[in-house]
Amino acid sequence: MPARASAADRDGALFSAASPAPAYAFYPTTHALSDDIGAEDYRQALEHSNAAARPLALYVHLPFCRQACFHCTRQPVITSDTRLPESYLSRLDREMVLIRRHLDPAREVRSLHWGGGTPTFLGLNQLSDLIDRLDARFRLASDRGREYLVEIDPREADVLTLRHLEALGFNRLSLEVLDLDPEVQQAINRIQGRGLTEQLIDEAERLGFHSVNLDLIIGLPRQTRDGFTATLAQVIAMAPERLSLFHYRHHPERFPIQRHIRIAELPGPQETLAMMDTAYRMLAAAGYVHLGRERFARSDDRLTKDRLAGRKCERHDLLGLGVTAVSRLEDLHVRNPLTLEAYEAALDQGRLATAAGHRLSLDDRLRGAAIETLMSELTLDLAALGDAFDLDAEAHLAEPLWRLAVAEREGLVERQDQRLLVTAKGRLLVRQLATAFDAYPLTPLPRQSSHAS
């Protein structure tokens, strides 16, 4: 057993706040995609998906921003030329036409999400133009239960913008607040007064938008526990229905704009953990329920009620439109090109812009389900997981479970027969815990050696 013990101790680094961990919005993450998968695979998967007739979710990526924020990981197109979206909109329209050819027209779009970049970089006429094109190409739902969300940079929207978006059919908003501390805002090149957000929240409520979400980020330069506590107190006073608490990922080798950030100004792992712990406590005291991952919602919000009632979200096929956009069908993930030039060139040649993808194996889907459940519910029932996939999950996931044995000794998870439970200490590191299941890790994971078992 000594070999196993020493390996396991080395593996402890896997579960520290300093170890890199993706957000796992989906699994496998985009770095597992390969250019072996292309437009023809996407076309076939679109046609195949019609048989299951799942509702559609559309994500439209609008990449333009007026000014670069130094923490940004979205690789936006920085410009002040407000005519630039015109040619982009015509490419989006071509992409819609190409995709629609392969879809059953009866399939309804239940969920629409405009993200960026800054969607409201587009003028009001351009926003109208985009919704008209979407409406012409797809069957957009019009009932109150649809989820039509737009991301808002409060510096780039006013009450008129919100009124316009509401008239176009949007019923949900997500506002990027990040941090209200002027020192932090200066360090990320994003000066954004609190009044901008308050004004938009008030107007959103008056217009009948539901479940307004505010995005905050932990781990930004010059962030301190006191400063972030002050931000949280102000945000809680605004009483949004939902809050997302994201983690800053510092990868200047992938996101060159982050070279403007001074490493010495980043909070250390312990300070980051302390901020997260403070945030969890303050939000709980204010009546917010942690819904797993980075999500919090007020107890009167639909998401919280659904969670308490055990209701699951409806499954969609996700179609991504635009540069960098990702689409997810039953067993295929594909991504569009990362540059505007490559995206536009593909569509100008009359072909789907798919640049990379990944065909999911049974193992991918099993691990993805394990990650999703662990991160969303902070628990994982191996017996239920095995039943869902008709296999012995404990045997199939022996290596990830071996890695998690270290986390168990550190009090981050508890094992009760077939159930893994993330502890109060472990929930602060749940992304790192999830990496144990990742077969395509960002950095190599420890492996169970044959003489260690």
Binding interface with ligand SF4 (CB under 6 A): 65, 68-69, 72, 74, 76, 116-118, 153
183 CB neighbour count, 10 Å cutoff: 14
- Nearest CB to ligand SF4, comparing residues 93 and 153: 153
Q: Residue 346 is inside which H or E element, if any?
A: helix 340-348
Least distance to ligand SF4, CB of residue 213, Å: 15
Least distance to ligand SF4, CB of residue 67, Å: 7
Least distance to ligand SF4, CB of residue 157, Å: 12
- Nearest CB to ligand SF4, comparing residues 65 and 380: 65
- Nearest CB to ligand SF4, comparing residues 324 and 435: 324
- Nearest CB to ligand SF4, comparing residues 140 and 165: 165
Least distance to ligand SF4, CB of residue 249, Å: 12
In angstroms, the Cα distances linking 111 to 101, 138, 149, 204, 313 are 20, 12, 8, 19, 12
Q: Residue 267 is inside which H or E element, if any?
A: none
In angstroms, the Cα distances linking 286 to 66, 225, 232, 283, 448 are 35, 18, 10, 5, 44
Scanning the structure block, which residue is given the tokens 């921003």? 65
- Nearest CB to ligand SF4, comparing residues 49 and 118: 118
Is the Cβ–Cβ distance between 78 and 65 less than 8 Å? yes
- Integer Cα distance of 32 and 20 in angstroms: 16
- Nearest CB to ligand SF4, comparing residues 154 and 426: 154
Least distance to ligand SF4, CB of residue 153, Å: 5
Least distance to ligand SF4, CB of residue 69, Å: 3
Nearest alpha carbon to residue 375 among 326, 409, 413 = 413
Backbone angles phi, psi at 175, to 5 degrees: -105, 130
Strands 379-381, 419-422: pairing is: antiparallel
